Structure formats: structure tokens, C-alpha cells
């Protein structure tokens, strides 16, 4: 795997984790904890390696169409397959690990820059959400877009990277992939 791919995967992973840390530690935690509890922010590196209790739901109104929320997603991106099964996080972690391995092989073999960009975003985002599953048993989702009472499922930076990566793969596959030309059929000779 090229060094630039690896560095970009790490950058996506770190951007996801820093955004989760900042929102949880600096915005959600002070609002979620009772006044008598210590709500001081945990340093990022300590937060990154500490298994913690899940914060309760909190909503911070930012714009008429955007909130910051504290949501624990036990399912996949955008809350799909969100359930309370004890084995759910483990199963989803294993599925994600297999997909990351498969996408890494694909990344190693691709010659397309657009495909590589999509795969790098998917792998980096999946790695960020996988760490959450290990640490919390769920993924930290905090971005809430809404129109009136209709709310798009809460998501995070990793989910965004995964969606953009999938879009790049689809765009490349639909519009830029060169089709292999089939050899012309043999013309029978009359003898």
C-alpha cells in the first residue's frame, strides 16, 4: 500500500476521533453531567484509549436545521440495524474488519485515483467507527440535520467519509470505468 494512502487513512481516522472527542468532552459532557460531578475534559490521547461509560442523550441547538446530539449507535451507518443484542457490536466489528481487509486488497490493486480516494475514505471511516465499537460497544454519532420534525439519522465524520467514499466508487464505476471490449465474433467461412 502506498504511503500516501496510509497517511490519508490515518488522517481520516484522526479527524473522526478528534471530532468525537471534542463534541463529547467539550460540549456534551458539561451538559450531561450533574453540577456536582467533574465535567472537565479528558485529554485526547487518554480519551482515545479509555473505555468509558456512555453519556446520556443531549441535544444542543446550533442552527434551525442542525443540532449536536449525543447518540449511541449500536447499528451501522446512520443507525441502520440499531438493536440491543449483546453480540451486535461484536458481529458488526467482525463484518467491518472483513470489509476493511477486502477494501485494503482492492486499494492495493487499483490503478484508478478516484477508486483509491473512495477506498481510503471508506477504510479510514470504518476504522474510526470500529474503535468506537471496541471502546463503547456503540458508535458515537453527534451530527443531527433536520427539517422541521423530520430528522436525518444522526451521524459522524466517519459516516460522512464512508458515504463520500462510496459515492466516489459509484461515480467512477458508472461514468469513468472503461468497459472491456469483447472480441468480435468469429465469422463463419462458407466452404
Residue 175 has a CB neighbour count (10 Å cut-off) of 8
Task: Respond yes or no: is residue 141 known to be catalytic.
Answer: yes
> 62-94 in b/e burial notation, b at 16+ Cβ within 10 A?
eeeeebbbbbbbbbbbbbeebeeeeebbeebbe
Give just the sign of the alpha carbon dihedral 56, 62, 64, 66. negative
Burial class (CB in 10 A: 0-12, 13-18, 19+), 7: exposed
Calpha distance 50→38 (Å, rounded): 17
Residue with cell 441547538: 61
Residue with cell 453527534: 142
Calpha distance 76→79 (Å, rounded): 6
Taken as a whole, the chain contains a residue count of 191
> Which position among 16, 132, 144, 159 bears the catalytic label?
159
Task: Respond yes or no: is residue 38 known to be catalytic.
Answer: no
Burial class (CB in 10 A: 0-12, 13-18, 19+), 146: middle
> Which position among 61, 141, 144, 190 bears the catalytic label?
141
Which residues are tagged catalytic? Answer: 141, 159
Amino acid at each position: 500500500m502506498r504511503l500516501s494512502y496510509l497517511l490519508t487513512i490515518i488522517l481520516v481516522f484522526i479527524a473522526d476521533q478528534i471530532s468525537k472527542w471534542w463534541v463529547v468532552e467539550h460540549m456534551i459532557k458539561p451538559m450531561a453531567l450533574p453540577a456536582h460531578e467533574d465535567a472537565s475534559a479528558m485529554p485526547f490521547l487518554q480519551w482515545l484509549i479509555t473505555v468509558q461509560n456512555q453519556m446520556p442523550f443531549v441535544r444542543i441547538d446550533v442552527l434551525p436545521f442542525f443540532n449536536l446530539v449525543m447518540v449511541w449507535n449500536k447499528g451501522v451507518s446512520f443507525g441502520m440495524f440499531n438493536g440491543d443484542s449483546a453480540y451486535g457490536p461484536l458481529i458488526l466489528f467482525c463484518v467491518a474488519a472483513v470489509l476493511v481487509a477486502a477494501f485494503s486488497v482492492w486499494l492495493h490493486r487499483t490503478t484508478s485515483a478516484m477508486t483509491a480516494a473512495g477506498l481510503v475514505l471508506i477504510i479510514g471511516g470504518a476504522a474510526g467507527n470500529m474503535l468506537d465499537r471496541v471502546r463503547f460497544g456503540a458508535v458515537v454519532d453527534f451530527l443531527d440535520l433536520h427539517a422541521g420534525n423530520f430528522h436525518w439519522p444522526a451521524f459522524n465524520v466517519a459516516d460522512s467519509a464512508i458515504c463520500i467514499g462510496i459515492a466516489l466508487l459509484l461515480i467512477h464505476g458508472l461514468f469513468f470505468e472503461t468497459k472491456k471490449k469483447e472480441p468480435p465474433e468469429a465469422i463463419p467461412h462458407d466452404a
